């Protein structure tokens, strides 16, 4: 999570006027749309490959990272970093209790 917080801090410094909740939500949806576009390319749906060529791991990974940063920005905006980490820990512990992971 530390690296995400660092990316959030850097982004907020680079774009200080874009830190309002609806702006973050809009960017999150935009990034989700770009992930959907990458999935379209990976699944060879429509004419995407003819237009853009073969899918690249780096591109879909970048879009996923951008969406994740926007989610963490929202968590930081509402100061729920501790609650987010507790929620992640609780989910992992529950999965361990259920024997789903080690």
Residues near Mg ion, by CB under 5 A: 31, 34, 63, 66
Buried b (16+ CB within 10 A) or exposed e, 69-86: bbebbbbbeeeeeeebee
Cα angle 92, 28, 10; round to 5: 85
Both tokens of residue 20?
């309002």
Q: Minimum Å distance from CB 9 to Mg ion?
A: 19
The residue (of 68 and 84) whose beta carbon lies closer to Mg ion is 68
The residue (of 34 and 81) whose beta carbon lies closer to Mg ion is 34
Q: What is the DSSP letter of 15?
A: -
Is the Cβ–Cβ distance between 66 and 57 less than 8 Å? no
Q: Minimum Å distance from CB 68 to Mg ion?
A: 11
Is the Cβ–Cβ distance between 52 and 44 less than 8 Å? no
The residue (of 62 and 81) whose beta carbon lies closer to Mg ion is 62
Q: Minimum Å distance from CB 49 to Mg ion?
A: 19
Q: Minimum Å distance from CB 28 to Mg ion?
A: 10
The residue (of 1 and 29) whose beta carbon lies closer to Mg ion is 29
């Amino acid at each position: 999570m530390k690296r995400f917080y660092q990316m959030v801090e850097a982004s907020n410094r680079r774009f200080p006027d874009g830190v309002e909740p609806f702006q973050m939500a809009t960017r999150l949806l935009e990034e989700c749309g770009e992930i959907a576009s990458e999935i379209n390319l990976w699944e060879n749906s429509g004419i995407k490959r003819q237009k853009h060529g073969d899918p690249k791991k780096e591109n879909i990974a970048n879009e996923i990272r951008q969406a994740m940063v926007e989610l963490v920005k929202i968590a930081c905006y509402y100061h729920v970093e501790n609650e987010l980490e507790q929620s992640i820990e609780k989910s992992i512990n529950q999965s361990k209790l259920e024997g789903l992971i080690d």
